[in-house]
């Protein structure tokens, strides 16, 4: 497991709960908008946001995950009124992740401590941003309803584990 402790530790338990929530979202992504679908959409990123705060993770990561959760909740409503606000909050998430990664890369290059975890975090951030961008393209209607959310959730999980795991 990526976090210290067994399955019942806070980090590993939250990881499993977020994975279960992302898996559950795949089943409700095609349903009509409702509370269950909205909760399933925002749960994975919101769980990692809470974990990031509890584990004293980077504040920019907390903001990015909170924005991603809010964007997922807005997109789950499938209403044109929420499309622009969803774009804005996903933009905030992308900027926070970019700021976090560029700062971490600069620090690692200066200190000579470049690690594969930074590359893994960058890959996760790319998945989160690509999934968000894909949600706003005309091609989104041709894909399975769970594809873009799954990409966003996977990105949030990867970047969180890479940034927070010990």
Alpha-carbon dihedral angle through residues 52, 54, 59, 63, given to the nearest 10 degrees: 60
- 5: in domain: no
pLDDT at residue number 166: 58
Domain span including residue 21: 10-164
Please determine, for residue 140, whether its predicted confidence score (pLDDT) is greater than 70: no
- 152: in domain: yes
Please determine, for residue 147, whether its predicted confidence score (pLDDT) is greater than 80: no
Which residue in the block uniquely carries the two structure tokens 């700062």? 103
What is the C-alpha to C-alpha distance for residues 53 and 20, in angstroms, rounded to an integer? 21
- 1: in domain: no
- 2: in domain: no
- Measured at the alpha carbon of residue 76, what is the angle toward residues 10 and 123, in degrees to the nearest 5? 55
**pLDDT class for 143, splitting at 50, 70, 90?**
confident
The pLDDT of 43-69, averaged and rounded, is 89
Higher per-residue pLDDT: 165 or 42: 42
- 70: in domain: yes
Give percent of the chain above pLDDT 70: 98
- 3: in domain: no
CB 121 within 8 A of CB 101: yes
- 4: in domain: no
pTM beyond 0.85:
no
- 89: in domain: yes
CB 16 within 8 A of CB 129: no
Task: Indicate the number of domains in the chain.
Answer: 1
CB 157 within 8 A of CB 25: no
Instruction: Supply 151's token pair.
Output: 């990409």
Quick: pLDDT tens for 81-125. Answer: 988 998 899 889 888 988 888 888 888 888 887 777 777 788 888
């Amino acid at each position: 497991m990526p976090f210290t402790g067994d399955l019942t530790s806070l980090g590993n338990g939250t990881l499993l709960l977020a994975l279960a929530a992302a898996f559950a979202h795949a089943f409700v992504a095609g349903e009509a908008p409702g509370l269950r679908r909205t909760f399933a959409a925002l749960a994975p990123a919101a769980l990692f946001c809470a974990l990031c705060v509890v584990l004293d993770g980077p504040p920019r990561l907390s903001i990015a995950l909170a924005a991603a959760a809010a964007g997922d909740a807005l997109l789950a409503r499938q209403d044109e009124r929420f499309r622009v606000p969803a774009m804005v909050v996903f933009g905030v998430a992308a900027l926070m992740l970019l700021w976090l990664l560029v700062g971490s890369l600069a620090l690692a290059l200066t200190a000579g401590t470049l690690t594969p975890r930074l590359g893994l975090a960058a890959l996760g951030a790319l998945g989160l941003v690509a999934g968000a961008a894909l949600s706003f393209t005309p091609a989104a209607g041709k894909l399975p309803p769970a594809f873009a959310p799954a990409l966003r959730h996977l990105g949030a999980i990867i970047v969180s584990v890479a940034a927070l795991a010990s």
